[in-house]
Amino acid sequence: MDYKKAGVDIEAGYKSVELMKEHVKRTMREEVLGGLGGFSGAFSLAKIKEMEEPVLLSGTDGCGTKVKLAIIMDKHDTIGIDAVAMCVNDIACAGGEPLFFLDYIACGKNHPEKIAEIVKGVAEGCLQSEAALVGGETAEHPGLMPEEDYDLAGFAVGICDKKDMITGENLKAGDVLIGMASSGVHSNGFSLVRKVFEKEITREGLNTYYEELGKTLGETLLAPTRIYVKALKGVKRAGVTVKGCCHITGGGFYENVPRMLKEGTRAVIRKDSYPVPAVFGLLADKGEIEPEMMYNTFNMGIGMIVAVDPEDADKAMEVMRAAGETPYVVGLVEAGEKGVTLC
């Protein structure tokens, strides 16, 4: 008896590491010390000496049951972007710069080429957020997971000077809310998505072209989460103060928008201020989902919302467009009970 006969292939693990090295190498920053293969990832913090009061920020998350679609479609090169996005967008919301990321892949059986494809997506997410991929873990779990299944999660660490943190404490009535468009469903609400499309969640069903979507169902649902780090960095460099910021993830608008507000302020968002992607209309109609539940579950086409002074709104949107984002003025901050009104 040996480890391989027990279901864990150490040689496959070695091959996975070799295959992923080329992707990891692309994400290196000058602060990274050493290379892939050590017991820990080392990252120099020498630059924090330039900050008055450096604060470390962290985020951890996964891709939820969106991974199931990647498995069914046998397409694994973008799900890693989702894992990175869910972590680094949260760090950016606090005004932080993501520094590095580590991933964790649990699988029923280590197929080296598949693992390398997953890490390729993780590396792409790191490139988009300018974070280094300094390490990770691939854990083979025979008997715990079916051989073809896997789950993906990770965490990121970022940094911010305390004076630059986005806390919402300076919000006031009249501040403008700018929403940056999402790429679709992103990585939240997929248990409901899979329930609505229960009969379509097959290889054949996901490869079906939908006229209203302009692409197949699978392409639409597997579109990777947008990463807003560069846009927010650009806004900061342009001298615009972001007073509040929220990442629209699980819980949609009703749960996430209030998290950016201080007591005595209320966000008023106009639902007709931007185009809602067709996939959400399809979900609502097919699943007979009430509007309030849609906005309480999904991002409805807006992945990130920032609050700025009215005189800074045009400049902020110009910078966002230059970073490749599509911004919309979606509402205003008003005086009132802390919360959000969708009208």
Which pLDDT value is given to residue 14? 65
What is the per-residue pLDDT across 103-136, written as a single tens digit (0 to 9) for each? 999 999 999 999 999 999 999 999 999 999 999 9
Give the DSSP letter string of 202-266.
SHHHHT-EETTTTEEHHHHHHPPPP--HHHHHHHHHTT----EEEE--TTHHHHHGGGGPPTTEE
Share of the chain above pLDDT 90, in %: 85
Q: Is the pLDDT of residue 168 over 60?
A: yes
Give me the domains of the chain, ranges plus CATH numbers: 10-164 (3.30.1330.10), 176-342 (3.90.650.10)
Which of the 8 DSSP states describes residue 313?
H
pLDDT, mean of residues 169-190: 97
Q: Is the pLDDT of residue 99 over 80?
A: yes
What is the per-residue pLDDT across 37-51, written as a single tens digit (0 to 9) for each? 677 888 899 988 889
Which pLDDT value is given to residue 20? 75
Within 10 Å of residue 203's Cβ, how many Cβ atoms? 10
Which of the 8 DSSP states describes residue 189?
-
Measured CA to CA, the distance from residue 3 to residue 13 in angstroms comes to 12
Measured CA to CA, the distance from residue 33 to residue 28 in angstroms comes to 9
What is the per-residue pLDDT across 66-83, written as a single tens digit (0 to 9) for each? 999 999 999 999 999 999
pTM (2 d.p.): 0.94
Backbone φ and ψ for 94, nearest 5 degrees, come out as: -90, 5
Which pLDDT value is given to residue 4? 62
Which pLDDT value is given to residue 209? 96
Measured CA to CA, the distance from residue 20 to residue 199 in angstroms comes to 35
Q: Which residues of 212-251 are buried (b: 16+ CB within 10 A; e: fewer)?
A: ebeebbbbbbbbbbbbbbbbbbbbbeeebebbbbbbbbbb
CA-wise closest residue to 125 among 191, 168, 93, 79:
79
The pairing of beta strand 215-216 with beta strand 327-335:
unpaired
The band of 13, judged by pLDDT with boundaries at 50, 70 and 90, is low
Mean pLDDT estimate for the chain: 94
The band of 10, judged by pLDDT with boundaries at 50, 70 and 90, is low
